Structure 1
Amino acid sequence: MRRIWLAMVAVLLVIGAGMSAHAALRVISERNAARDRAMVAADARAAALGSTVFADQETAAPAAGVTGTIDLPDLPIPAGVALDSGVVPARPFSMAGASAIDRDRARQCLTAAIYYEAASEPDAGQQAVAQVILNRARHPAFPGTVCGVVYQGSEHAGCQFSFACDGAMARVPARAAWVRAARAAGMALAGYVYAPVGLATHYHTYAVTPAWNRSLVMTDVVGAHFFHRWKGYWGTSAAFNQRYVGGEPVPGPHRDIQPLAPPTPEMIAAAGAAAVAAASAGETAAVTPSVPVAVAKSSPVPSKPAAAVVTDMLPPESQILDRWKDSGKPLK
């Protein structure tokens, strides 16, 4: 009987312990769920804040090896556009119909970008950087030329690629590395597509995490760079509809041209007074009678005979008289 009693007590203790454990697990689960909800809400607030900042201003490259970003175009999104699934390769870049000057300038600009942004990267890393630049040239948010994309923002020290503003171009390029970058640029401009990065328009290195990182979708990691594309429609192949038509600007950072200041009221008044004075002087000259001026007649000056024109490079003719030529006697 005592054994039965002890067995019943043990069973009750096991049941009580199980119920306590279950209740504890339920409390822990509810606490974790609440923490997850709070984290999701915080991420949503941060993403909304980031997208607001992103939509209001252009952001320059924060450091070397990182692209800047720019406002999305204020254009209507076509209805019924299907979003891409996965990483979609870009279409081959075409310069058909471009002039020789456009081709040369595009090659110079793309070579410089590859060299200063990815000189130490493997071939795949250089091709990926070139693909980002050509993807931008096709996107309506960016300039429609290769040089325009590479040196965008350099006129106000807000470069999309840091090398165009940080003085890196003052260093003389290493010849072998420049030739290698030029080869990657030539391949990309000839239509080679580096498919793994897809429609990426941004990248950054391991060392830097830019502010736009959360608002984009990562497509690949190549070498030391993470590559990203925009979310939604603006990151789909349908959005990359900007056709290349040439018109490449001069390679190099854009010059900062200050706009002309509007004329002040003082300047306008002075210009008006000068115009009135000039008009008054003209009227006075018109009514003043002209005084005849005596012109002295000059006697004709006898003209000198024109010098003989030398038509060859031979020495001048001898001045010795004919009777003394070949005589062998010295002149006295």
Structure 2
Amino acid sequence: MAATPAKHVKQMLVDRETKYAVAGVVPVFVMVMLLAHSASPAPTRHEAIPRLGDAVAPVSARQVKMIEASPSTTNWGGARQQPAMLVVTPTRPRSAAPFFYKGTTSDRERAVNCLAAAAWYEAGNDPEGQRSVMQVVLNRVRHPTFPSSVCGVVFEGSERTTGCQFTFTCDGSMQRRFPSPRQWTLAQTLADKALTGSVDDTVGQATHYHADYVSPWWSGALQQVSQIGAHIFYRWPGGRGHLARSRNSGSEADEAELAQGRPRPETQGEAAALLAPQIASLDAAASAPVIPVGVSQAQLIGLDPKSPSGPWAVTALTQCLNKPACTVLGYGQGVELSRNTNLVPAQMDRPLFLFVRDRASGMEVVLWDCDRTARPREDQCLPRDRKSLDQLMRNR
């Protein structure tokens, strides 16, 4: 188990005490002050969105985390604390439990095809990469945030031209390129094994990943668990990352649920023909309208200003999952939240936290009121001028 920043400080204190004991001088005051600060270490860059306060999952051997002082963190002399290095003890991510598919023979066949398609289109002909993708799909099936079927997870959001969970399902890839019969058979074989208890423990309980040459905003909201080749894998932090041992519904989409306007299966090759029954919109929740709160169409959430502010982004991400337009405003629980209900945006107070997604304009931002909660970077702070803030808070 990797030592916490507090443990590092305490170990430094022990070394210091030994040194001064030999010299016959023990600076009691310094020891007391160091212990006081060790109980409340500065927020780290990796704790930013969110802090890992709920629970600490095992970390990949490839990770080295920088512990950086917050801009608002000072010592008792007024000077900023210097960054410290925390070298994480090499461990493997916590493995997911074996997945055993429940369903009819026909449902299982469709699940195999969906899983094989996700693996091949996302990882090409790389078996290691394919297994990692399959594990992420099955981890999502077990997580309450996602659909409870394999095809439901893979084709979530595929009815839209953007915003699908796996890009190949909505960017036309399935109409432009296809695996060869041999490649398809190999992918199906791996998929069948994954649905019969084979586990890829290199990605642990990861539910998200991205290529290492991009940096999506949500990567800071999740906990990194490993990197496989050019892809970095993440899980929800703390208890939010818990996966049910058995959640798959055993019911996959059939031919009657083909998406409107999709090309005819016979024009797409063998693989696409097998997958035609699954190219439907399988997540009814994705099209559910945003429920407005008061005059503002934003979703208001009550927050504890003294709590770690990183998890607020995770809450907003969950609230806006699969919604092309969504605004979440966070206010202090109780009076502050009540005072900002049933107001037009221009009348509302400056929020503690703001999340805005507007797919029409390509905007997706997450910001905090840095006057009331510490953040590691200035670009995570709400604008100070009211005009800019009103632009962010306006109805869309």
What TM-score results when the alignment is normalised by the length of structure 2? 0.42
Q: Secondary structure at the match of 1:218?
A: strand
Question: For residue 115 of structure 1, what is the amino acid of its counterpart?
Answer: W
Q: Deviations over 1:205-229 (max 9, x none)?
A: 1222111111111111112211111
Q: Deviations over 1:85-135 (max 9, x none)?
A: 452111111124x101111110110011111001143x2211111000000
Q: Which runs of 5+ in 2 are unaligned?
A: 1-40, 60-92, 255-276, 288-396
Q: How far, CA to CA, are the matches of 1:163 and 1:140 in structure 2?
A: 23
User: Hey, what does 1:195 align to over in structure 2?
Assistant: 201
1:254 equivalent among 280, 288, 294: 280
Question: For residue 254 of structure 1, what is the amino acid of its counterpart?
Answer: A
User: Hey, what does 1:124 align to over in structure 2?
Assistant: 128
User: Hey, what does 1:101 align to over in structure 2?
Assistant: 106
Question: For residue 161 of structure 1, what is the amino acid of its counterpart?
Answer: F
Q: Secondary structure at the match of 2:120?
A: helix
Q: How far, CA to CA, are the matches of 1:253 and 1:203 in structure 2?
A: 22
User: Hey, what does 2:191 align to over in structure 1?
Assistant: 185
Residues 36-75 of structure 1 mapped to structure 2, 5 A cutoff: 47=49
Q: Secondary structure at the match of 1:234?
A: helix
Residues 274-293 of structure 1 mapped to structure 2, 5 A cutoff: none
Q: How far, CA to CA, are the matches of 1:211 and 1:120 in structure 2?
A: 29
User: Hey, what does 1:113 align to over in structure 2?
Assistant: 118
Offset of residue 144 of structure 1? 0.3
CA radius of gyration, larger in: 1
Whether the 8 Å CA contact 1:94–1:190 is kept in 2: the answer is yes
- Structure 1 position 210 matched with structure 2 position 216: yes
Query: For the structure 1 residues 201 and 40, does the alpha-carbon distance in structure 2 shift closer, same or farther, using more than 3 Å as the test?
Result: same
Question: For residue 218 of structure 1, what is the amino acid of its counterpart?
Answer: Q
Q: Secondary structure at the match of 1:112?
A: helix
2:145 equivalent among 141, 146, 163: 141
Whether the 8 Å CA contact 1:93–1:189 is kept in 2: the answer is yes
Question: For residue 104 of structure 1, what is the amino acid of its counterpart?
Answer: E
Q: How far, CA to CA, are the matches of 2:107 and 2:239 in structure 1?
A: 30
User: Hey, what does 2:239 align to over in structure 1?
Assistant: 233
Offset of residue 245 of structure 1? 2.7
Which one scores higher on RCO, CA 8 angstroms, separation ≥ 6?
A: 1
Question: For residue 278 of structure 2, what is the amino acid of its counterpart?
Answer: G
Q: How far, CA to CA, are the matches of 2:215 and 2:44 in structure 1?
A: 22
User: Hey, what does 2:171 align to over in structure 1?
Assistant: 166
Q: How far, CA to CA, are the matches of 1:47 and 1:217 in structure 2?
A: 9
Q: How far, CA to CA, are the matches of 1:82 and 1:41 in structure 2?
A: 15
Whether the 8 Å CA contact 2:58–2:94 is kept in 1: the answer is yes
Q: Which runs of 5+ in 1 are unaligned?
A: 1-36, 51-80, 260-332
Going by fraction, where is strand more abundant, 1 or 2? 2
Q: How far, CA to CA, are the matches of 1:43 and 1:149 in structure 2?
A: 28
Q: How far, CA to CA, are the matches of 1:84 and 1:240 in structure 2?
A: 16
Question: For residue 158 of structure 2, what is the amino acid of its counterpart?
Answer: S
Query: For the structure 1 residues 40 and 162, does the alpha-carbon distance in structure 2 shift closer, same or farther, using more than 3 Å as the test?
Result: same
Query: For the structure 1 residues 175 and 213, does the alpha-carbon distance in structure 2 shift closer, same or farther, using more than 3 Å as the test?
Result: same
Query: For the structure 1 residues 108 and 83, does the alpha-carbon distance in structure 2 shift closer, same or farther, using more than 3 Å as the test?
Result: same
Q: Deviations over 1:273-312 (max 9, x none)?
A: xxxxxxxxxxxxxxxxxxxxxxxxxxxxxxxxxxxxxxxx
Q: Secondary structure at the match of 1:191?
A: coil
Q: Secondary structure at the match of 2:94?
A: coil
Offset of residue 84 of structure 1? 4.7
Offset of residue 255 of structure 1? 5.2
Query: For the structure 1 residues 232 and 104, does the alpha-carbon distance in structure 2 shift closer, same or farther, using more than 3 Å as the test?
Result: same
Query: For the structure 1 residues 219 and 186, does the alpha-carbon distance in structure 2 shift closer, same or farther, using more than 3 Å as the test?
Result: same
Q: How far, CA to CA, are the matches of 2:252 and 2:46 in structure 1?
A: 42
User: Hey, what does 1:8 align to over in structure 2?
Assistant: none
Question: For residue 251 of structure 2, what is the amino acid of its counterpart?
Answer: G
Whether the 8 Å CA contact 1:111–1:178 is kept in 2: the answer is yes
Offset of residue 181 of structure 1? 1.4
Offset of residue 241 of structure 1? 4.8
